[in-house]
Structure 1
Amino acid sequence: MLSLQDYSARDALDLAGLVRSGEVTAAEVRQTALVAAASVESRLAAFTEGPFEQLPAHSSGEFAGVPFVIKDLLITAVGVCGHGGSAALADAAPAEADSTLMRRFRAAGLGLLGTTKSSEFGLSVAADQKWRGPTRNPWDPQRSPGGSSGGSAALVAAGVVPVAHANDGAGSIRIPAAHTGLVGLKPSRGRVPLGPWQQELMYGNVVEFAVTRTVRDTAYLLDLVQGNAPGEKYGAPLPAEPYRDEIADRSPRQLRIAVAAHGWDGQALSPDVRNAIELTASTLADLGHVVEEASPAVDWEGFLAALTTTWCAGTAAAVVPLLKSGTDRDLFEATTVTCAEVGQALNPVDLAVAFDQYNALSQSFGSFHAQWDLWVTPTSVGPAPAIGDFDADNPQYTAAEWVRRCVVPYPTCATSNVTGGPAITLPLAQTADGLPLGVQLSADLYREDIVLRTAAQLERALPWAGRRPVVHVTTETRQR
């Protein structure tokens, strides 16, 4: 059997190469993944369903034989129960069919190992649940891995799987990736299909994709799952060339890169985060890019008010039908109900005002990116929060207070959800005591090529592959 040390040191492409060459079988890789999951799950509590013992049907896809997990939210896999991270859906029936993205994951060769914890309906930036309790960060189990895709991020960081499904409505791919030392790309709106059972979520803010350990896994996987699907509301143009070609080690053109070393509306950053931004900026300059401090004009309070409106309206769309069907409101977390009630009371004019704010933000960013190829910002104002710092079951929060609590520590995550442009977080730095810090690169709509090309440059210049968290499949196995 493939050793845990060897298994966890390889990214998805490496593992698939071993299977393709015949050095190991897909069954052996999966058995190692099951051992890996068993070694850390008691400390991380990251799974919702699984791990599944059965080997999936054989696939000839590029990632054939590679185990992966899906977030317990939005995506569906035939025969697997989806709960949305909520006790309100604890008894949900198994899905009758795969969603479009799940079919593409399977065609790529990925083999489902289980589903992972999300915050309830993705409405918190921590992976704490009233239903099943918190997922813990492998870098420090007293901290959250972030959310809402925290279970997926924890398992990738701990070496259980090399890649995991995630989705993002205001940072839910990038926040946990930043807090667990991973690569987290939020693709452009329409790049990866959401259907067939929904056209859009949170008024176009939600996108689907994954978290990985390497930029190349991100690029290759995006090549395999991107592309328009029949019936989708949004669609993205095909890239000029495959994303895997963009990350090749070749002489790239010089980019104009803007850097912002501040938080929400001038909010102070921790010294470690400021150092991470300065390190990134100096590295990009050394790579030959033009780097200057600049930011688009943003009415932060107007943007936050608009985001609160769509957050609450989207929550109401998910929760109110369940309440009307007789679901006990006590099964939901307090802030979920609070936001749903506010959303139910909104009127079309409220949404129109929010959309006007969104348009102003998108126009400002469009003008900004006509001058700047990339915007480099902190993913978070500090390291991963302690378990319980984001208490979604606290009835004292108003809806506006809860949205502000979730958004402000992640200064520029939600802006790219609204503009629709791609944004990636990279684990380029650490705190003085060794916790991961993410740096975000964002670009104009559909410019994943620029984002991934620059991410690959930074990965080569500031490599992170040798870092291991405290809870990891290799360390946990040795302790046993």
Structure 2
Amino acid sequence: MNLAMSWNEWANLDAIGLADLVRKGQITPQEVAQQAAFAIDALNPAISAVIEVFDDAVHDPMKDGTNPDGAFAGIPFLMKDLGPTVKGRLQEMGSLLMQGNRSSADSFLTSRIRQAGLNIIGRTTTPEFGLCSSAENPAVYVTRNPWNLDYTTCGSSAGTAASVAAGIIPLSHATDGGGSIRIPAGVNGNIGLKPSRGVFSVAPYSSDLMGVVSVQGCHSRTIRDTAAFVDSCRGGAPGEFMPYWLPPEPYSELIRRDPKKLRIAVSHEWGDYQATPHIVAELEGAARFLEALGHHVEWVIPDIDFHAAYRAQTECYIMNFTQTISGLLEQKGLEQPPANLIEPMCIRVWEEGRFYSYRQRAKMQAVFNDTSRRLASFFEDWDIILTPTMALPTPLVGTKEYLTISENPSVYDWFENLWRIFSYTPIANLCGLPGISLPMAELENGLPLGIHALTRQGEDGLLLQLGAQIERALNGKWNHGRRPAVHVTSIDAVQFPAKCVKDSV
């Protein structure tokens, strides 16, 4: 079967660009879905990013309620195998325990995704229950970085990150409980926005503080795709325990204008957490770039007890994941996590969390409150905090110290090891702030390095507006115009011949 377009054309189109072609009648949603499915067939054996393709959704994009009049006009979309459920589809959460688990209904956000015109054609990899930094358990799958297959994608939105970076699909679902949108975006050269608390609903689940530490979102290759995704999918379901809000104007309109002159605080020394010299040099380069755009840039460190904050974040994770695992065990009539079906660190987290008291939870929430107040005060004087997305270089595949197959006997030491590399992203989850990773820099070995920006709660549009200004200044050439080694443009044109699509780029 001929494809709708060449792979170069495909790679040069974002989701909005593909949707425009559909609206013009130059391609059909089925043709676009088939092209994405071909890309998965060709590249997934190398990167192991997609668990399953829904063949029926590829052949009939509107069968599950995809809205052809939505912003994305029926183009294909991949769902991370964690978080929102998809009616009738498997959701196995990266766990052997959950194999065969099939969802009975769409989550609220899934219905919003369909209404936005996105055709859910498959699911992407994630570490077990989204707990660790990389989708790497050889008994399940090992997702690899398309820039260099020896390296991890990080996580937990691992398969989404690899799929978008490799050009398989321009837009894909992601979640973020401590950096799981932004970290893999930074490692794979994508755009990753972690929205504010009160943007995307997780209904019907997790209507409490510990649940909303984790938020929903997407990976993309252009700011306008992310803006359109937020515009189209945001909003609360009936019965939310907190307000959900709308901005004065859609982000898709806001990003057409440059932001005002911003006060940007740059830092990488967060308590004992510090970036390597090369990463600091890349951060300095990004700061100079923003200064050249007319912004005021200064090196300033927020007055926060970062170790206390991240200790509270650790305790929140332990309590949250203990509840998650306990609930799943109860559903299956089990009293203990089976060692052959649940990964060792997940079991240790469950064991530790069983003994937490309400008093400990109250103390954790008090630290959350103090940290949030301090950071909000900081944003009275500053518009943006700029950091690297990570403090240390991307790990090689098989670096067990960051994985839930780690043999570390201490849950607390294991989490502290995570904070040493992922030093800058969790604070946004703790405080409910928006953060974005932008593909502006690179590591010494040529892998992408994200530059991370934080702002005050509810100002997601400011991050997108700044991102759009940077994107225009770069002429759209994120990652210095480079592409990964494993990419759709490397697919053999003889194997997959394409018909021409006029005016597609």
Alignment TM-score, normalising by the size of structure 1: 0.96
1:298 to 1:56, Cα distance in 2 relative to 1, 3 A: same
Match of 1:276 in 2: 282
Deviation larger for 382-391 or 303-312: 382-391
One-letter identity of the residue aligned with 2:82 = L
What amino acid is the match of 1:373?
D
2:188 pairs, out of 180, 183, 194, with 180
What residue in structure 2 maps to residue 393 of structure 1? Answer: 405
Shift of residue 200, structure 1, vs aligned partner: 4.2
Give unmatched runs, 5+ long, in structure 1: none
**The 10-residue stretch of structure 1 (145-154 or 195-204) with the greater mean CA deviation from structure 2:** 195-204
Match of 1:346, SS?
coil
2:363 aligns to what?
Answer: 353
State the 1:51 CA deviation: 4.9
2:88 maps to amino acid: G
Q: Secondary structure at the match of 2:311?
A: helix
Alpha-carbon deviation of 1:203? 4.3
> Which of 246, 251, 272 is 1:238 aligned to?
246
In structure 2, relative to structure 1, the CA distance for the partners of 1:128 and 1:421 (3 Å cut) is same
| CA shift digits 1:362-404 (9 cap, x unpaired) | 0110100011011111111233211121231123331101211
- Residue 322 of structure 1 and its aligned partner are, at CA, apart by 3.2
**Residue 258 in structure 1 maps to residue 265 in structure 2:** yes
1:263: how far off? 4.5
Aligned residues: 477
| Equivalence map 1:12-411=2 (5 Å) | 12-52=15-55, 53-57=58-62, 59-92=68-101, 94-129=102-137, 131-200=139-208, 202-248=210-256, 250-260=257-267, 262-324=268-330, 325-326=333-334, 328-389=338-399, 390-411=402-423
Query: Percent sequence identity over matched residues?
Result: 36
| Stretch of structure 1 that moved more, 61-70 or 416-425 | 61-70
CA-based RMSD? 1.7
Residue 251 and residue 3 in structure 1: after superposition, are their counterparts in 2 closer, same or farther (change >3 A)? closer
3-state DSSP of counterpart to 1:75: coil
Whole-angstrom CA distance in 1 between matches of 2:139 and 2:217: 25
Q: 1:441 aligns to what SS in structure 2?
A: strand
Query: Within 2, Cα distance between the matches of 1:234 and 1:474?
Result: 45
SS at match of 2:340: helix
Structure 1 position 456 matched with structure 2 position 465: no
Superimposed CA distance per residue, residues 412-460 of structure 1 (whole angstroms, 9 cap, x where no aligned partner)? 1000001101000000011233210001111111011211111111122
Q: 1:468 aligns with which of 470, 480, 483?
A: 483
Deviations 1:168-187 (A, max 9, x none): 00000001100000000000
Q: Give me the whole-angstrom Cα distance separating, in 1, the residues matched to 2:17 and 2:328.
A: 44
- Which letter does structure 1 place at the counterpart of 2:322? A
Q: What amino acid is the match of 1:259?
A: V
Deviation at 1:470, TM superposition (A): 0.5
Task: Measure the CA separation in 2 of the matches of 1:147 and 1:200.
Answer: 24
Q: Is the 8 Å Cα contact of residues 55 and 111 (structure 1) preserved in structure 2?
A: no
Q: Shift in Å at residue 329 of structure 1?
A: 3.6
State the shift of 1:269 in Å.
2.1
One-letter amino acid matched to 1:358: F
State the AA in 2 paired with 1:2. Answer: M
CA deviation profile, 1:315-374 (whole Å, cap 9, x unmatched): 110112333522624310100010111111100111111111111110110100011011
Query: Are the aligned partners of 1:61 and 1:109 in contact in 2 as well (CA < 8 Å)?
Result: yes
Instruction: Supply the AA of the counterpart residue of 1:468.
Output: R
Structure 2 distance, partners of 1:30, 1:204, is 32
Q: Distance in 1 between matches of 2:439 and 2:491?
A: 23
Residues 225-267 of structure 1: per-residue CA shift (max 9 Å, x gap): 112221122333210111112211x35321111111x254244
Q: Does 1:413 align with 2:422?
A: no
Query: How big is the shift at 1:91?
Result: 2.1
What SS class does the counterpart of residue 142 from structure 2 fall into? coil
Q: CA 1:202–1:454 in structure 2 vs 1: closer, same or farther (change >3 Å)? A: same
Q: Which residue of 1 aligns with 2:492?
A: 477
Q: Higher relative contact order at CA 8 Å, sep ≥6: structure 1 or structure 2? A: 2
Gaps of 5+ in 2: 496-505
Comparing 274-283 and 470-479, the one that deviates more: 470-479
Q: Return the alpha-carbon distance in structure 2 between the equivalents of residues 302 and 98 of structure 1.
A: 38
Determine if contact 2:48/2:143 at 8 Å carries over to the other structure. yes
Supply the distance in 1 between the matched residues of 2:17 and 2:221 (Cα, whole angstroms).
Answer: 12
Q: Which whole-Å CA distance do the structure 2 matches of 1:251 and 1:211 have between them? A: 22
**SS in structure 1 at match of 2:136:** coil
Separation in structure 2 between the aligned mates of residue 35 and residue 258 of structure 1, nearest angstrom: 44
Secondary structure of 2:438's match?
strand
Task: Provide the C-alpha distance between the structure 2 equivalents of 1:275 and 1:329, rounded to a whole number of angstroms.
Answer: 44
Asked if the contact 1:3–1:32 (Cα under 8 Å) also holds between the matched residues in 2, the reply is no
Cα contact 1:316–1:340 (8 A) shared by 2: yes
Aligned residue type for 1:221: F
- Within 2, Cα distance between the matches of 1:322 and 1:222? 31
Inter-partner Cα distance in structure 2 for 1:201 and 1:98:
23
Q: Using the TM superposition, name which of 376-385 and 268-277 deviates more.
A: 268-277
Cα distance in 1 for partners of 2:390, 2:307 equals: 18
Name the CA distance, whole Å, in 2 between partners of 1:79 and 1:56. Answer: 15
Farther-moved stretch of structure 1 (312-321 vs 264-273)? 264-273
d(CA) in 2 for partners of 1:138, 1:453? 28
Counterpart among 433, 437, 453 of residue 449 in structure 2: 437
Q: Is the 8 A contact 1:86 1:129 kept in 2?
A: no
Change in CA separation of 1:136 and 1:478 when aligned onto 2, cut-off 3 Å: farther
Distance 2:149 2:491 in 1: 13
CA distance in 2, matches of 1:8, 1:170: 30
Structure 1, 454-463 or 145-154: larger mean CA deviation: 454-463
Amino acid in structure 2 at the alignment position of 1:272: H
Tell me the secondary structure at the aligned position of residue 111 of structure 1. strand
Counterpart-to-counterpart distance in 2, 1:303 and 1:219? 30
More moved, 389-398 vs 349-358: 389-398
SS at match of 2:242: coil
Structure 1 residues 368 and 150: CA distance shift in structure 2, 3 A: same
